[in-house]
Amino acid sequence: MTKSLQQDYQQQLSEKEARLNGLLSQFDAPDAVVYASAPTHYRMRAEFRVWHDGDDLYHIMFDQQTKEKYRVDDFPPASKTINNMMAVLMEKLRNNTLLRKKLFQIDYLSALSGELVISLLYHKPLDDAWLAEAEKLRDELNTDAPVSIIGRARKQKQILGNDYVIERLPVFERTYLFKHIENSFTQPNAEVNCRMIEWTLDVSAGLGGDLLELYCGAGNFSVPLAANFRRVIGTEIAKPSVSAAQYNIQVNGLDNVDIVRLSAEEFVEAMKGIREFSRLQGINLAEYDFTTVLVDPPRAGLDEASLRKIQEYDNILYISCNPETLAENLTILNETHQVTHTALFDQFPFTHHIEAGVKLTRKAV
Ligand SMILES: C[S@@+](CC[C@H](N)C(=O)[O-])C[C@H]1O[C@@H](n2cnc3c(N)ncnc32)[C@H](O)[C@@H]1O
């Protein structure tokens, strides 16, 4: 990265820091500890449109301001695995009439482990001839780390290999394995994600008791945090993420984590005894001693019923991808809890997006 790019990055990061600290100052929150991103090769996923230009074929993106398309032969924000593949793949597709015909998009999902899933999206049905060519292509692309190919067309999904990568995340002195499924939520910036996990481990050290997690995805936090709690229960709405989470619990050798497919709102109803769910069979919520709750909701933040519920726990860890809804939610949480730790994780460098973490503890009465 050039010096001026580095300066631009630092300046934007300082602006994010000031914005977050400004938003949270009304809650007497401590200034954020900032976790910067690597300046390049930080994104584990990337999506491109495909441009057909006579015999030529290349990745394109669109300028967000002008909406003009531009050619992309390499993409520094994406991982090295993706960048190494882009030119190789395009060269092979360019010379393959069957595989390039009606191809309109390519999505890449990579992992620090080196594994890669390439999704090819088509405006045509994918027949046996396509399958045979795609299988040949996959054989040619497979090197040391596995490469999978997914063909997508209307009502069709052909999987050659896997529809997931197995990620290896180094967190402090341990490496955790995670199944990351194509088209499901995963944290885009793997290195910064490791710093996020480490921060949650640090601020929850010594809390003891049990952990409740809402919006747990594939167990990104639940799995490592199992080390800090007697038992962990996580809830998540998306079926593929729940099934990946079950795999992740098993592959990391844990016996104190349960993940249940329930929306946060449903789980709050179950906790209040308003509704019973067969999906909670075998789990007696009354036996848990929840000292801590971790939430990592989508941009909209938490609804009021969930906020009122999580106020019942002594410690709240809130991971947020939207500081505005975080601040809104804190107006309620701050009635009973004090923000004791704040962090800014630069998941999305060179954008205005802020990923933040706060820890709250119950105020003395
Ligand atoms: C920001 S992601 C966080 C996932 C996970 N903590 C991680 O780090 O990978 C939010 C997650 O909430 C899930 N979700 C969205 N709405 C939900 C709801 N109403 N109840 C439960 N989970 C929900 C999404 O499927 C997604 O996995």
Rounded mean pLDDT, 235-252: 97
Residue pair 204/292 in contact (Cβ under 8 Å)? The answer is: yes
Q: Enter the pTM of the model.
A: 0.96
Residue pair 168/175 in contact (Cβ under 8 Å)? The answer is: yes
Q: Which of 321, 324, 328, 335 is catalytic?
A: 321
Q: Are residues 17 and 118 in the same domain?
A: no
Two structure tokens written together for 166: 């197995």
Please report which residue ranges of the chain form alpha helices under DSSP H: 3-24, 80-94, 97-100, 128-141, 190-204, 222-225, 239-251, 264-271, 304-310, 323-333
> What region, left, alpha or beta, does residue 65 occupy, with left being phi > 0 and alpha being psi -120 to 50 degrees?
alpha
Of 174, 183, 160, which Cα lies nearest the Cα of 240? 183
86 CA to middle of ligand 1, Å? Answer: 30
Residue with tokens 């197995």: 166
Of 237, 233, 208, 209, which Cα lies nearest the Cα of 221? 233
Q: How far apart are CA 362 and CA 360, in angstroms?
A: 7
Domain that holds residue 279: 3-39+189-362
Q: How far apart are CA 239 and CA 162, in angstroms?
A: 17
DSSP 299: T
**pLDDT grade for 145, boundaries at 50, 70 and 90:** confident
Instruction: Tell me what ipTM this predicted complex has.
Output: 0.99
Q: Are residues 301 and 357 in the same domain?
A: yes
Q: Are residues 79 and 211 in the same domain?
A: no
Two structure tokens written together for 254: 């844990």
**pLDDT grade for 1, boundaries at 50, 70 and 90:** low
Is 22 part of any domain?
yes
Residue-level pLDDT at 180 = 98
Q: Are residues 236 and 134 in the same domain?
A: no
Q: How far apart are CA 258 and CA 245, in angstroms?
A: 9
- pLDDT for residue 170 is more than 70: yes
Give the contacts of 343 (CB within 8 A, at least 6 positions apart): 32, 33, 34, 35, 196, 199, 356, 357, 358
- pLDDT for residue 356 is more than 80: yes
230 CA to middle of ligand 1, Å? Answer: 23
Two structure tokens written together for 7: 């300066």
Q: Are residues 31 and 60 in the same domain?
A: no
Of 344, 348, 350, 347, which Cα lies nearest the Cα of 8? 350
Instruction: Work out whether strand 45-53 and strand 103-110 pair parallel, antiparallel, or are unpaired.
Output: antiparallel
Q: pLDDT tens for residues 75-128?
A: 999 999 999 999 999 999 999 999 999 999 999 999 999 999 999 999 999 999
**pLDDT grade for 4, boundaries at 50, 70 and 90:** confident
Q: Are residues 27 and 63 in the same domain?
A: no
Residue-level pLDDT at 62 = 97
Is 217 part of any domain?
yes
Q: Are residues 220 and 128 in the same domain?
A: no
Number of domains in the chain: 2
AA identity, residue 158: Q
234 CA to middle of ligand 1, Å? Answer: 11
Q: What is the CATH number of the domain that holds 308?
A: 3.40.50.150
Q: Which of 167, 213, 266, 355 is catalytic?
A: 355
Q: Are residues 124 and 16 in the same domain?
A: no
Q: Are residues 134 and 222 in the same domain?
A: no
Beta bridge partner(s), residue 358: 318, 342
Residue-level pLDDT at 281 = 87
Which of 131, 165, 199 marks a domain boundary? Answer: 165
Is 296 part of any domain?
yes
Is 286 part of any domain?
yes
Which of 102, 133, 165 marks a domain boundary? Answer: 165
Rounded mean pLDDT, 320-335: 98
- pLDDT for residue 2 is more than 90: no
Is 55 part of any domain?
yes
Residue pair 187/156 in contact (Cβ under 8 Å)? The answer is: no
Residue-level pLDDT at 193 = 98
Q: Are residues 207 and 311 in the same domain?
A: yes
Rounded mean pLDDT, 8-28: 96
Of 38, 109, 118, which Cα lies nearest the Cα of 77? 38
- pLDDT for residue 292 is more than 90: yes
**pLDDT grade for 365, boundaries at 50, 70 and 90:** confident
Q: How far apart are CA 119 and CA 160, in angstroms?
A: 10
Q: Is 215 assigned to a binding site?
A: yes
Which of 165, 180, 202 marks a domain boundary? Answer: 165
Is 18 part of any domain?
yes
AA identity, residue 339: V
Q: What is the CATH number of the domain that holds 64?
A: 2.40.50.1070
Q: Are residues 195 and 320 in the same domain?
A: yes
Q: Are residues 335 and 225 in the same domain?
A: yes
Minimum-distance ligand 1 atom for the alpha carbon of 218: 9
Angle at 360 between CA 276 and CA 11, to 5 degrees: 120
**pLDDT grade for 6, boundaries at 50, 70 and 90:** confident
Is 216 among the residues known to form the active site? no
User: For the chain, what is the mean pLDDT?
Assistant: 96
Is 182 part of any domain?
no
Is 125 part of any domain?
yes
Q: Name the residue at shortest CA distance from atom 20 of ligand 1.
A: 263
101 CA to middle of ligand 1, Å? Answer: 36
Please spell the DSSP secondary structure of 16-72, one letter per residue: HHHHHHHHHGGGTPPPPEEEPPPSSS-BSEEEEEEEEETTEEEEEEE-TTT--EEEE
- Ligand 1 pocket mutation, candidates 176, 201, 215, 354, criterion most atoms within 8 A of CB: 215
Rounded mean pLDDT, 286-311: 96
Residue pair 243/260 in contact (Cβ under 8 Å)? The answer is: no
Is 321 among the residues known to form the active site? yes
Ligand 1 pocket at CB < 6 A = 185-187, 215-217, 220-221, 236-238, 241, 263-265, 296, 298, 321
AA identity, residue 111: A
- pLDDT for residue 3 is more than 80: no
Beta bridge partner(s), residue 269: none
